[in-house]
Amino acid sequence: MKIFKDKHTLQKEILKTEGISFVPTMGGLHKGHISLIKQSKKTKLKTLVSIFVNPKQFNKKSDFKSYPRNTKKDIKLLKKLMVDYLYIPTFKDIYGFKPKSKVFLDKSSKKLCGKFRKGHFEGVLNVVNRFIEIIKPRYIFLGKKDYQQLYLIKKHIEKRKIRSKIVECKTIRENNGIACSSRNLNLSKSQMIIASNIFHYLRSLKKKIKKNYSLFNINKIKKELIKLGANKIDYLENYNTKNFKKVKKPYKEYNLFFAYYIKKVRLIDNI
């Protein structure tokens, strides 16, 4: 595995390849990232993984500082997975140039996480746009856990007629049901149990509301989540996964999207 810390050296190297399969990460690698990398390797192109904790997508400095980081452990794992390239850029490397494509931010960016984390998706799209310009990947592998983010990146790529193709990958879960996330490293054992209980409760609820949508009483459900151990609920909504519009009838193709806090740790998921 070759490690690069500046874009110019990286670009010289990848020019020799037939194409790049790209897995963007902020480190704190887990089973979800491993699954994305394994999917990427199936393309038979060179796999490039990035590790960059992007400050522009954090709306709280404390959240940026507490984000789990363990680069040595991540490098060891990536070597084991036989990744071709690892890109660990500096802030200046990513933000020290003006990209050719302007970021397109779909109106759905104002919903769900966009409503509660001002500037978050602007930060995500900004950094993704820059990575695309530096790497020009043929494929970008993204997980469905961050579905709103995935949807917005796809919209940006479509609108700006970028050639990279997004490959949507299923959410990988821990044995207790909760979605794999770097933020899980900030949870204690007892808090992991709370998160697991919340996941199982909401998964069961979704099955019930498919048959009887009147059971979707947001206030009642939020009270139940507080009883289970959530400290704060940002949102709990049903959205059509094709057009990202709120669902009001049970027969449409939709997911239940939710974000909540256990103490200071914010968890998001969709089922």
Residue with tokens 């390239």: 85
Q: What's the rounded Cα separation, in Å, for the pair 127 and 149?
A: 12
Write out the two tokens for 73. Answer: 């452990």
Q: What's the rounded Cα separation, in Å, for the pair 259 and 271?
A: 12
| Contact yes or no for 153/86 (Cβ under 8 A) | no
Which one of 8, 30, 33, 200 is the catalytic residue?
33
Residue with tokens 């194409």: 19
| Contact yes or no for 251/238 (Cβ under 8 A) | no
pTM of the model: 0.94
pLDDT of 248 reads 83
For 152-196, the pLDDT digits (tens) are: 999 999 999 999 999 999 999 999 999 999 999 999 999 999 999
Q: How many C-beta atoms lie closer than 10 Å to residue 40's C-beta?
A: 26
For 128-152, the pLDDT digits (tens) are: 999 999 999 999 999 999 999 999 9
In terms of Cα–Cα distance, which of 146, 148, 170, 150 is closest to 158?
Answer: 150
Write out the two tokens for 128. Answer: 């993704």
Specify whether 33 is catalytic.
yes
For 69-93, the pLDDT digits (tens) are: 999 999 999 999 999 999 999 999 9
Please, what is the end-to-end C-alpha distance for the chain in angstroms? 35
What domains can be seen in the chain, in order of their start residue? 2-169 (3.40.50.620), 182-270 (3.30.1300.10)
